[in-house]
Structure 1
Amino acid sequence: MEQIIYYFFNLDVIREVGPYILKGLVNTLLLSACVIPLGLASGFVLAIAGHCVRNRVVRALLIAYTDLFRAFPPLVLLVLIYTGLPYLGLELSPLQSVALGFMLNNSSYFGEILRAGLASVPRGQVEAARSTGMSALQTMLHVQIPQAVRNVSPDLVSNMIEVVKLTSIASVVSVPEMLYAARTAQSMLYNPTPIVFAALVYFVLLWPLVVMLGRMEKRRRLAMGAMY
């Protein structure tokens, strides 16, 4: 038991490396604040295009893009962007590589979620909005998108939680987020306590979101049950 405490829950180690890991947490939050909006914005573009465009070629390209980046392992994608693009004369910083890789990966997931949300809006409401004189753009902005976001909000929050956890792979290109800080501290002290501490910080950070997600899903089930 003493060995378990010494190697995994060493308070002296936590006091020593805690500020360094918490600094990595700030970088994790900043990275999340960067990549989540990028993924959402590009996902909205994909969703609206997939919902509105009727050209078969364009639709096929959108499906190919979505399927490709949903199937492509994000870690491999990140390494490929960071180490492969310089051979094409395009050298990105670690942060730029992470932003691009996460945007490509997350846009496909957010795009599918939002496209399903747009498809869930009853056609009758769209026709009613158009009959009042609203343009197609106004109908999309004021009728379809608000309802679509509300209908799939639990799925959006769930994916955002996954994105925050996924930021840990940014350490492979030396972005100094929390896991990178914990691994560096572990290698210096030869003690895995920093990794355990980082895991606990992730838990404290994400647990409220997980609880909120559970409540959102419960409300959605109750709302759907009331409809039928």
Structure 2
Amino acid sequence: MTYILDVTRFILKGAITTFNLYIITAIFCVPLGILLAVFKMSKYSILSKIIGIYTWIFRGTPLLLQLFFVYYALPVIGVSLMPFTAAALTFVLNYSAYLTEIFRAGIESIDRGQFEAAKSLGMNYRQTMTRIIIPQAVRRVIPPTCNEAINLVKDTALVAAIGMGDLLRAAKEVLTRDFSITPFIIAALLYLGISSIIVAIFRRIESRYSIFD
């Protein structure tokens, strides 16, 4: 039991990076995804095409490749970032691209008659989106957004590729040192626990927005 507690404490120290990266990514990618989704649906075709290219690139290439590019390739042109900064920037850009398409699909699923009704009431585009459309769209995008939130937990393990210590790397270090599968079991339980918490949070959010059904 003492060994398990010691290993768990060690792995949790490595998990600090995982938690910090997760929180920062979640804080920035959600509002950025909503903003880009709205802009992509705007009447300005150039802006829409630029955002379309951005989502095409980041959704069409591996996250690990993007991480390598930001951390290893940018210094070639004189842009050097600390490992955590490079990881956070990459994750925000990647997940914002996915959320942009999720939010866009949610917004477009709202009946066009509601846009016309809002217009007849004298609302401008911003008022229509913030007061009428987005609150309804949020309810519809909760399930796919929850999936992305869970994927984010697992994807944070990729930061080990640029030398950062995280939950999984800490478990691997203990396994290499002690030649025991215990650290991987503990890591799996921690990942499952985090994912379960995320699912519970999204269920509460879904219940909160069920008023728009």
- TM-score class normalised by the smaller sequence: 0.7 to 0.9
- Aligned mate of 1:154, from 143, 153, 160: 143
Match of 1:6 in 2: none
- C-alpha displacement at 1:71, in angstroms? 1.2
Q: Which has the larger radius of gyration?
A: 1
Question: Structure 1 residues 93, 69: closer, same or farther in 2, change over 3 A?
Answer: same
* Cα distance between partner residues in 1 of 2:175 and 2:43: 51
Give the TM-score normalised by structure 1.
Answer: 0.82
- C-alpha displacement at 1:190, in angstroms? 2.9
**1:82-119 deviation line (CA, Å, top 9, x unaligned):** 11111111110111111111112111110000000110
Contact 2:42 2:48 in 1 (8 A): no
Match of 1:15 in 2: 5
Supply the RMSD in Å over aligned alpha carbons: 2.5
Instruction: Kindly indicate whether residue 165 of structure 2 is the aligned counterpart of residue 176 of structure 1.
Output: yes
Give the aligned residue type for 2:31: A
- Aligned mate of 2:36, from 46, 68, 84: 46
Give the aligned residue type for 1:27: T
**1:134-178 deviation line (CA, Å, top 9, x unaligned):** 222111111111111111111111111111111111122233321
- Aligned mate of 1:109, from 63, 85, 98: 98
SS in 1 for 2:79: coil
Worse overlay, 185-194 or 135-144: 185-194
* Cα distance between partner residues in 2 of 1:87 and 1:149: 41
- Aligned mate of 1:121, from 106, 110, 134: 110
**1:12-58 deviation line (CA, Å, top 9, x unaligned):** 64233211112223332222110122221221222011111342x43
Question: Structure 2: where are the runs of 5+ without partners?
Answer: none
Give the TM-score normalised by structure 2.
Answer: 0.87
Question: Structure 1: where are the runs of 5+ without partners?
Answer: 1-10
* Cα distance between partner residues in 2 of 1:73 and 1:168: 14
- Aligned mate of 1:135, from 89, 102, 124: 124
Contact 2:34 2:99 in 1 (8 A): yes
Match of 1:167 in 2: 156
Match of 1:185 in 2: 174
Matched residues, percent identical?
35
Contact 1:174 1:180 in 2 (8 A): no
- Aligned mate of 2:134, from 139, 145, 150: 145
Q: Which runs of 4+ in 1 moved over 6 A?
A: 211-217
Q: How many residues were matched structurally?
A: 210
Question: Structure 1 residues 37, 83: closer, same or farther in 2, change over 3 A?
Answer: same
- C-alpha displacement at 1:193, in angstroms? 2.1
Match of 1:30 in 2: 20
Question: Structure 1 residues 154, 15: closer, same or farther in 2, change over 3 A?
Answer: same
Worse overlay, 147-156 or 23-32: 23-32
Worse overlay, 126-135 or 87-96: 126-135
- C-alpha displacement at 1:212, in angstroms? 7.0
SS in 2 for 1:52: coil
Give the aligned residue type for 2:78: G
Contact 2:40 2:49 in 1 (8 A): no
* Cα distance between partner residues in 2 of 1:105 and 1:49: 17
